[in-house]
Chain A
Amino acid sequence: MNAVLDAFYGANSCVLSNSLSFREPGFILLAKHEKKNPLKRRATKHTMSFVQYSDLIHDGDVIIVYLGHNSVMPVKVQHGAQTQTRYGVIRHSTQLIGQRYGSKVTCSKGGWVQVLHPTPELWTVSLPHRTQILYTTDISIITMMLELKPGSIVCESGTGSGSLSHAILRTIAPTGHLHTVEFHEQRALKVAEEFKEHRVDPLVTVRNQDVCKDGFGVTGVADAVFLDIPSPWEAVGHAKVALKKHGGRLCSFSPCIEQVQRTCEVLADQAFEEISTVEVLLRVHDVRTVSLPLPDFGPDPSSQTELGPKEEAPPTPSLNHASITMKTTTPPREMPGHTGYLTFATKPRT
Chain B
Amino acid sequence: MAENEDDYQYTIKEGDYVVLKRGDIYKAVQIQLKKKVIFEKQWIFLDNAVGHLYSTTFEIVSGGVLQPKEDKKDQDTEHPADVKVAGTDNRNIVDDGKSQKLTRDDIETLKEQGLKGQEIVQQLIENSSTFTTKTGYAQDKYIKKKKKKYENTVTIVKPTCRILAMMYHGREPGKICHLRYDTLAQMLTLANVHAGSKVLVFETCAGLVLGAIMERMGGYGSVIQMYPGGGPVRAGVECFGFPSHFHDTLHEFPICHVNALLAGSLDTSAKDPSADENQVVEKQFGVAVKHQNQPESEQQDGGPEEQRMETNAAAAAVQDQEELEKEKRKEIKAQEKKLKLEEKRRKLAAAAALLEGRNADGLVIASRFHPCPVLLGLIKFLSPSRPFAVFSQYKETLIECYTKLKEQGGTVNLRLTDTWLRHYQVLPNRTHPVLLMSGGGGYLLSGTTVATDHSKPAGSPQAEEPARKKARTDKH
Contact assessment for A277 and B387 in the assembled complex, using a CB-CB cutoff below 8 Å:
no
Give the contacting residue for B160; candidates A140, A147, A151, A264; CB below 8 A. Answer: A147
Contact assessment for A283 and B53 in the assembled complex, using a CB-CB cutoff below 8 Å:
no
Interface segment among A4-12, A98-106, A294-302: the answer is A98-106
Contact assessment for B190 and A136 in the assembled complex, using a CB-CB cutoff below 8 Å:
yes
What is the minimal beta-carbon distance from A117 to any residue of chain B, in angstroms? Answer: 4
Collect the chain A residues with CB atoms within 8 Å of residue B459's CB. Answer: 100
Contact assessment for A281 and B386 in the assembled complex, using a CB-CB cutoff below 8 Å:
no
Give the contacting residue for A55; candidates B383, B387, B402, B460; CB below 8 A. Answer: B383
Flag whether A121 is at the interface (Cβ < 8 A). Answer: yes
Contact assessment for B387 and A121 in the assembled complex, using a CB-CB cutoff below 8 Å:
yes
Give the contacting residue for B417; candidates A99, A117, A283; CB below 8 A. Answer: A283
Contact assessment for B399 and A149 in the assembled complex, using a CB-CB cutoff below 8 Å:
no
Please provide the chain A residues from 64 to 92 with a CB less than 8 Å away from any CB of chain B in the complex.
Answer: 66
What is the minimal beta-carbon distance from A330 to any residue of chain B, in angstroms? Answer: 11
Flag whether A173 is at the interface (Cβ < 8 A). Answer: yes
A264 to B426, CA, bound (A): 7
Collect the chain B residues with CB atoms within 8 Å of residue A287's CB. Answer: 399, 402-403, 416
What is the minimal beta-carbon distance from B69 to any residue of chain A, in angstroms? Answer: 12
Q: Which residue of A lies closest to B403 (CB)?
A: A327
A100 to B457, CA, bound (A): 7
Collect the chain A residues with CB atoms within 8 Å of residue B428's CB. Answer: 261, 265
Considering residues B192, B220, B359, B443, which has the most beta carbons from chain A within 10 angstroms of its beta carbon? B192
Contact assessment for B451 and A103 in the assembled complex, using a CB-CB cutoff below 8 Å:
yes
A15 to B216, CA, bound (A): 34
Given contacts A281-B420, A284-B415, contact A144 B194 (CB under 8 A): no
Contact assessment for A119 and B387 in the assembled complex, using a CB-CB cutoff below 8 Å:
yes
Flag whether A174 is at the interface (Cβ < 8 A). Answer: yes
Contact assessment for B418 and A283 in the assembled complex, using a CB-CB cutoff below 8 Å:
yes
Flag whether B356 is at the interface (Cβ < 8 A). Answer: no
A128 to B283, CA, bound (A): 67
Give the contacting residue for B55; candidates A136, A328, A349; CB below 8 A. Answer: A349
Contact assessment for A174 and B361 in the assembled complex, using a CB-CB cutoff below 8 Å:
no
Please provide the chain B residues from 351 to 402 with a CB less than 8 Å away from any CB of chain A in the complex.
Answer: 359, 361, 383-387, 395, 399-400, 402
Please report whether the interface of chain B is mostly helix, strand, loop or mixed according to DSSP. mixed
Considering residues B161, B218, B402, B416, which has the most beta carbons from chain A within 10 angstroms of its beta carbon? B218
Collect the chain A residues with CB atoms within 8 Å of residue B195's CB. Answer: 51, 150, 173-174
Contact assessment for A102 and B451 in the assembled complex, using a CB-CB cutoff below 8 Å:
yes
What is the minimal beta-carbon distance from B433 to any residue of chain A, in angstroms? Answer: 8
Contact assessment for B386 and A327 in the assembled complex, using a CB-CB cutoff below 8 Å:
no
Flag whether B62 is at the interface (Cβ < 8 A). Answer: no
Collect the chain B residues with CB atoms within 8 Å of residue A100's CB. Answer: 384-385, 451, 457-461
Interface segment among B84-92, B178-186, B200-208, B227-235: the answer is B178-186
**Size category, A interface:** 35 or more
Considering residues B162, B385, B443, which has the most beta carbons from chain A within 10 angstroms of its beta carbon? B385
Collect the chain A residues with CB atoms within 8 Å of residue B219's CB. Answer: 150
Contact assessment for B420 and A104 in the assembled complex, using a CB-CB cutoff below 8 Å:
no
Flag whether B189 is at the interface (Cβ < 8 A). Answer: yes
Collect the chain B residues with CB atoms within 8 Å of residue A99's CB. Answer: 457-458
What is the minimal beta-carbon distance from A226 to any residue of chain B, in angstroms? Answer: 15
Please provide the chain A residues from 164 to 178 with a CB less than 8 Å away from any CB of chain B in the complex.
Answer: 167, 170-171, 173-175
Contact assessment for A348 and B55 in the assembled complex, using a CB-CB cutoff below 8 Å:
yes
Collect the chain A residues with CB atoms within 8 Å of residue B422's CB. Answer: 278-281
Please report whether the interface of chain A is mostly helix, strand, loop or mixed according to DSSP. mixed
Collect the chain A residues with CB atoms within 8 Å of residue B399's CB. Answer: 287, 327-329
Give the contacting residue for B412; candidates A42, A66, A167, A174; CB below 8 A. Answer: A66
Given contacts A102-B384, A277-B426, A287-B399, contact A147 B162 (CB under 8 A): yes
What is the minimal beta-carbon distance from B168 to any residue of chain A, in angstroms? Answer: 13
Collect the chain B residues with CB atoms within 8 Å of residue A147's CB. Answer: 160-162
Given contacts A284-B415, A285-B418, contact A101 B189 (CB under 8 A): no
Flag whether B311 is at the interface (Cβ < 8 A). Answer: no
Number of A-B residue pairs at CB separation under 8 A: 188
Contact assessment for A121 and B190 in the assembled complex, using a CB-CB cutoff below 8 Å:
yes
Given contacts A104-B457, A150-B220, contact A53 B417 (CB under 8 A): no
Flag whether B450 is at the interface (Cβ < 8 A). Answer: yes
Given contacts A53-B361, A144-B188, contact A280 B423 (CB under 8 A): no
Given contacts A102-B451, A144-B188, contact A170 B416 (CB under 8 A): no
Contact assessment for A174 and B402 in the assembled complex, using a CB-CB cutoff below 8 Å:
no
Q: Which residue of B lies closest to A117 (CB)?
A: B385
What is the minimal beta-carbon distance from A126 to any residue of chain B, in angstroms? Answer: 12
Flag whether A141 is at the interface (Cβ < 8 A). Answer: yes
Please provide the chain A residues from 149 to 190 with a CB less than 8 Å away from any CB of chain B in the complex.
Answer: 149-151, 167, 170-171, 173-175
Given contacts A144-B184, A147-B162, A284-B416, contact A52 B403 (CB under 8 A): no
Collect the chain A residues with CB atoms within 8 Å of residue B424's CB. Answer: 260, 277-279, 341
Give the contacting residue for A53; candidates B184, B386, B402, B413; CB below 8 A. Answer: B386
Given contacts A140-B182, A171-B194, A171-B216, contact A285 B395 (CB under 8 A): yes
Given contacts A102-B384, A144-B181, A287-B416, contact A261 B426 (CB under 8 A): yes
Give the contacting residue for B189; candidates A117, A136, A284; CB below 8 A. Answer: A136
How would residues 1 to 14 of chain B score, 1 for a CB under 8 Å from any chain A CB and 0 otherwise? 00000010010000
Contact assessment for B450 and A285 in the assembled complex, using a CB-CB cutoff below 8 Å:
no
Q: Which residue of A lies closest to B197 (CB)?
A: A53
Collect the chain A residues with CB atoms within 8 Å of residue B418's CB. Answer: 282-283, 285
Give the contacting residue for B448; candidates A104, A116, A140, A283; CB below 8 A. Answer: A116
Interface residues of B (CB under 8 A from A): 7, 10, 53, 55, 72, 160-162, 165, 181-182, 184-186, 188-190, 192, 194-197, 215-220, 359, 361, 383-387, 395, 399-400, 402-403, 412-413, 415-424, 426, 428, 431, 443, 448-451, 453, 457-461
21 CB-based A-B contacts, threshold 8 Å: A55-B383, A66-B450, A100-B460, A100-B461, A102-B384, A102-B386, A102-B451, A141-B182, A145-B185, A147-B160, A147-B162, A150-B217, A150-B218, A171-B216, A174-B196, A174-B220, A257-B431, A280-B421, A285-B416, A328-B399, A349-B53
Sample of 15 more A-B contacts, CB < 8 Å, known A103-B458, A140-B186: A101-B383, A102-B386, A114-B412, A117-B386, A136-B189, A137-B186, A140-B182, A140-B189, A140-B190, A141-B186, A150-B194, A257-B431, A260-B426, A275-B426, A285-B443
Cβ-closest 8 pairs across A and B: A102-B384, A150-B218, A102-B385, A101-B385, A144-B185, A140-B189, A103-B457, A277-B424
